[in-house]
Amino acid sequence: MYPSAFEYHRASSVKDALKMLADYGEDGKLLAGGHSLVPIMKLRLAQPAHLIDISGLPELGAIREEGGKIVIGAMTTHRAVESSSLVRAKLGLLAECAALIGDIQVRNRGTIGGSIAHADPAADYPAAILALEAEIKIESVSGSRTVKAEDFFIDLMTTAVRPGEIVTEVALAPISTGCGFAYLKHRQPASGFAMVGVAVLLALGKSRTCERARVGITGLAAKPFRARAVESALAGKDPAQAFASAAAHAADGIDAMSDIHAAADFRAELARVYTRRALEMALPRAKA
């Protein structure tokens, strides 16, 4: 099918894009990489009268270190995240996650801001940015605000972004020296989406017990989440001995999704298995 008729606008700046969003209201939609919006426009599930292209804005495509954090512009492609020397050196978990998104064509076009703003429940990035405790900058004509990753994802394809707002940056603290990390997923063969994806950060104390663990899970529920029951089960424990019992809590209290790809019970079991595997992968990378 073809999309319904629309007017195309190429924003010259973030300010320009925000003004158009304010002017067009519900009739205006942002175009970033286009991987999510264009297909649903072709199916006429979305019929915006105005399409605002922000893909050419250089201020949204930079990766920089600022104020002790790595700041990634919303229009930064997955490939740029994956290949950035700064991200690879200081945010290895995010680079590892980006490298597993879709295929090379998707990574060359899709963007980190578009992915998290769309909030597909099977997207990869959310697990990593939750484990990394990222902060997302959101702008509107009235100013800007910062939202913690854990408060950003509200429900199925629903985020803290309000009408007239744009995600402009993702800021993440560098991974501490000696902290182990891993991102693993059970890949849906056709799309490459995560039927379940697990991101892990693991810090060990001098006695090689778990000093800090952060676990983000995507694909299991309507929205990504921090697996706090797993994190609590690891605290102060010998990780190698606690992994299996801790990972058993990966789906605790979660209403697992069921669809044509996987039943809820199977997804819950995938979450437990991949949480254990991610923890086991992170451990050799961790140094006390």
CATH code for position 132: 3.30.465.10
CA distance 151 to 125: 15
Same domain, 32 and 72: no
In a domain, 1, yes or no: no
pLDDT digits (tens, 9 = 90+) for 196-238: 999 999 999 988 899 999 999 999 999 999 999 999 999 999 9
Domain count, the chain: 3
Check residue 131 and give its pLDDT: 98
Half-sphere exposure of residue 214, counting CA atoms within 13 Å on the CB side? Answer: 20
Same domain, 167 and 185: no
What average pLDDT does this structure show over 277-281? 97
Nearest to 164, CA basis, from 52, 25, 50: 25
CA 43 to chain centre: 25
Q: Assess whether pLDDT exceeds 80 at residue 246.
A: yes
Q: Assess whether pLDDT exceeds 80 at residue 1.
A: no
Look-up: residue for tokens 């703003």?
117
| Ramachandran quadrant class, 192 (left: phi over 0; alpha: psi -120 to 50; beta: rest) | left
CATH code of the domain in which 247 resides = 3.30.390.50
Same domain, 64 and 168: yes
Same domain, 44 and 76: no
Residue 198's domain spans which residues?
180-285
In a domain, 34, yes or no: yes
Q: Quick one: pLDDT band at residue 288, thresholds 50, 70, 90?
A: low
CA 44 to chain centre: 26
Same domain, 203 and 154: no
Our CA dihedral for 223, 224, 229, 233, rounded to 10 degrees, sits at: 160
Check residue 139 and give its pLDDT: 97
pTM of the model: 0.94
In a domain, 142, yes or no: yes
pLDDT digits (tens, 9 = 90+) for 15-57: 999 999 999 999 999 998 887 888 888 999 889 999 999 988 9
Same domain, 20 and 79: no
* Helix (H), strand (E) counts: the chain: 12, 14
In a domain, 98, yes or no: yes
Same domain, 49 and 64: no
Same domain, 65 and 161: yes
